[in-house]
Structure 1
Amino acid sequence: MVEGLWENIGQALAKEWTVRMLAPAFAFWGGGLLAWASRSGWGNLAAWWSARSVPEQAALLVGGLLALAFSAVVMEWAQEGVLRLAEGYWPFPFRGLRFALARRWEKKAQRIEERWQELAEKCEGNPEGLSPAERAEYARLDALRLRLPADPGRMMPTLLGNLLRAAEEHPWVRYGLETGVCWPRLWLLLPKEIREELAAARSRLNEATRLLAWSLLFVAWTVWAWWAAPVGLLLAGLAWRGMTRAAWVYGDLVRAAFDLYHPLLFEHLGWPKPEGPEDGRRLTEYLARGIHPRSPRTSVSPPPAGRRP
């Protein structure tokens, strides 16, 4: 267990993005030290440090660096859970709130669609028929409606959750391919440069997720300094904005990957070229359960919620 832990820490430190991963952890612990010193007095901190011998100071510095690296690795392990909470996959005590907010998004999506239809009818396909403000609203609504789940019953309680849910849903609606089943296979067939673009987009989403978690934890230093709460909440708001932007881009890239390369799944498995979503559903059934289209099979159920690439 200990050997594996140190191996993970060593691998994390060796990566190119080490600075990006460690910077939020450094800011968190540095801010905590600053908050403690602002309450206890810098003189007391300086006196305590001066009372330590050189070996003790060196040991404290090394221990602090190891604790910094360890906390960064732990946050990396926890980022998937933080992301799911940010999407709206909340535990049982908050399930009622989750579904209430999801219903609000259903109504909001309906209002967006109705307003978009109103503007579309007004311009009749020619945006010049709208005022500048209406053209801007039309473009904004059009971009958002295309990135929300097509099925209102699958809405999530947050914008982030809906952006990622729509990306999960897209291959099923268009091609009958369930993302959780087909994405690992498709990933292996994508060109290297496409995988790098997708990995970079996902990395930006993960970075913003870790920043959100560190920012919310930073509020804990309010016990020593009042300014920790507004600083932490401000950074959390910026991190949330970064998460939604990153999810927007990442979702677009996942959709584009399925749009352009999903025929490769059929080709490499020796299946005929797909002609519609039903062919994709048969392939999903085959990959998930080993049921070949020539074998007796049951109908394919809709994809389970929350399975994303």
Structure 2
Amino acid sequence: MGDIARSALGGAWTVLVGWLLPTALNVSLFVVAVWPSLRRARGHVRLWSEGGVTPLSVGVLSISVLLGLALCALQNPLYRVLEGYALWPNALYSRGCARRRQAKQDLQDRLTLIRLERQEREGRLAPDDTARLTALRGDPRIARAARKDRRRTAVQRALLRERLARYPVDDAQLAPTKLGNAIRRFEEYGYDRFRLDTQVMWNELTGSAPEQVRRQTDLARTNVDFFVALLYGHGVVVLCAAAALAAADPDVPLLLMAIAVPGLLIPVWYRAAVSATDEWSASVRALVNTGRKPLAESLGLLLPGELAHEREMWALVSKMSRLPHHERAAALDTFRAAPPVERPPR
């Protein structure tokens, strides 16, 4: 039934679930917890006692649709703030990148220590790895984490690899936040593997990729959009509730609840958004892997049989799309498909 509904709604499904639904939840929370204190005055009672249920529902629905569409239009700036690219002072940005770089290195060292200790128990430890094992055991930060790691099950240790996979391969691509790195890892995937700059060639890639793969990418991003919209909406509700404490005759217990509960849930929604990028990453990886050949054909190119030549071809294509024309772009002729042979008329 869900697949039928998604198919029927088409592209509207991503807007409905990703932005309108969480906005409706936040507006409802505001109406229930904050609005009564703002409406209180002499001779007035609560909003739901003044009017019927129907006018209130229509108002909530209308405001939710308008705000949800506005958030959808502003999704790029909203994401950039959470990723650490916008409104971050340089000092805070550099400090955040340093913390994420250290966190990534710690995860790598912990996984390396787990692997080396397993090889040591099995008697397969190479002589060259002995010094590395000793150094990791002597690191106080790694040693503290290792005591917990030794009690972890195989599944729990796999979660460490999952956390490490949420970082980009190249340390130069690190962002100052967890969400920024979780998104950056699949933004760099095409370039790291094939030298295909998906940020530059995104429209061409999605336009030529198989419909099912392209649809999976849109649906996977919807999950992240949902938590991002919920996070921002909770932040606005908390601010409004704090401001409403200064209103005449506020409902203090209700307002304190409106501040505490959404405030505690904001980190939860952020972590949920980071986790939801796993499916988004997998869909983009599939988009790159399966969409390269149709993309090459749509550009009039032949996909080389050797990976080194393919990386050279996509590097040229990406540069030609990003930079002004240069005579060196003629090197792309090597990969161009031969024009069709015109048959003489009978």
TM-score, normalising length: structure 1: 0.76
Other-structure match for 2:23: 25
Q: Retained in 1: the 8 A contact 2:169–2:185? A: yes
Other-structure match for 1:267: 297
Other-structure match for 1:37: 36
What does the per-residue CA deviation read over 1:154-174, in whole Å, with 9 as the maximum and x for residues that have no partner? 211111110111111111111
Q: Retained in 2: the 8 A contact 1:216–1:236? A: yes
Q: Retained in 2: the 8 A contact 1:202–1:250? A: yes
Aligned pair in 2 of structure 1 residues 112, 74: CA closer, same or farther (>3 Å)?
Answer: same
What does the per-residue CA deviation read over 1:108-138, in whole Å, with 9 as the maximum and x for residues that have no partner? 11121122222222334999x9966263454
Aligned pair in 2 of structure 1 residues 185, 62: CA closer, same or farther (>3 Å)?
Answer: same
Shift of residue 191 of structure 1? 1.3
* Aligned residue identity for 2:93: R
Unaligned runs of 5+ in 1: 1-11, 298-309
Shift of residue 66 of structure 1? 3.4
Supply the distance in 1 between the matched residues of 2:66 and 2:74 (Cα, whole angstroms). 12
Aligned pair in 2 of structure 1 residues 152, 218: CA closer, same or farther (>3 Å)?
Answer: same
Alignment equivalent of 2:179, drawn from 137, 160, 173: 160
Other-structure match for 1:278: 312
Identity %: 22
What does the per-residue CA deviation read over 1:8-33, in whole Å, with 9 as the maximum and x for residues that have no partner? xxxx9x94564764443333333333
Other-structure match for 2:102: 107
* Pair 1:228 & 2:258 matched: yes
Alignment equivalent of 1:133, drawn from 152, 158, 182: 152
Q: Retained in 1: the 8 A contact 2:221–2:280? A: yes
* Aligned residue identity for 1:272: L
Supply the distance in 1 between the matched residues of 2:42 and 2:58 (Cα, whole angstroms). 22
Supply the distance in 2 between the matched residues of 1:234 and 1:206 (Cα, whole angstroms). 19
Other-structure match for 2:274: 244
Aligned pair in 2 of structure 1 residues 126, 218: CA closer, same or farther (>3 Å)?
Answer: farther
* Pair 1:287 & 2:306 matched: no
Say what the alpha-carbon RMSD is for the aligned residues. Answer: 3.6
Q: Retained in 1: the 8 A contact 2:18–2:224? A: no
Is the radius of gyration larger for structure 1 or structure 2? 2
Aligned residues: 279
Aligned pair in 2 of structure 1 residues 264, 110: CA closer, same or farther (>3 Å)?
Answer: same
Aligned pair in 2 of structure 1 residues 43, 29: CA closer, same or farther (>3 Å)?
Answer: farther
Other-structure match for 2:84: 88
What does the per-residue CA deviation read over 1:166-217, in whole Å, with 9 as the maximum and x for residues that have no partner? 1111111110111212221111121111111111001111121111110111
Q: Secondary structure at the match of 2:161?
A: helix
* Aligned residue identity for 2:110: R
